[in-house]
Amino acid sequence: MQAEAVAYQQPGGSLLVLTDVRDTILSSEVMDFVKESSARATKHVRKEAIIGITGIRQVLLDAVSRFSGQQFATFDDVEAAKDWLVDDDS
């Protein structure tokens, strides 16, 4: 993917990532892609905020976190996620 190519060119631990999964349709193929992509990008990501995690999506996100070793913070709205991303104390 084009986003991955750009991410892999960035210094380790430098990326602030905001992902919005509201209104997405999950499938096993999508989950496999997300797990593999997260595992490859982990060393480049400093913090990742995700919007739209409810119900079963939390269980799936926990699985992605275990597989990739990456920690995610979940939020209900974009502004709260952005604030957290740029807060150096969190």
**pTM above the 0.85 mark?**
no
**Number of domain units in the chain:** 1
Q: Which structural domain range is residue 81 located in?
A: 2-86
Evaluate if residue 30 carries a pLDDT over 80: no
CA 4, CA 40: separation in Å to the nearest integer? 9
User: What digits encode the pLDDT tens for the residues 46-59?
Assistant: 998 989 888 888 88
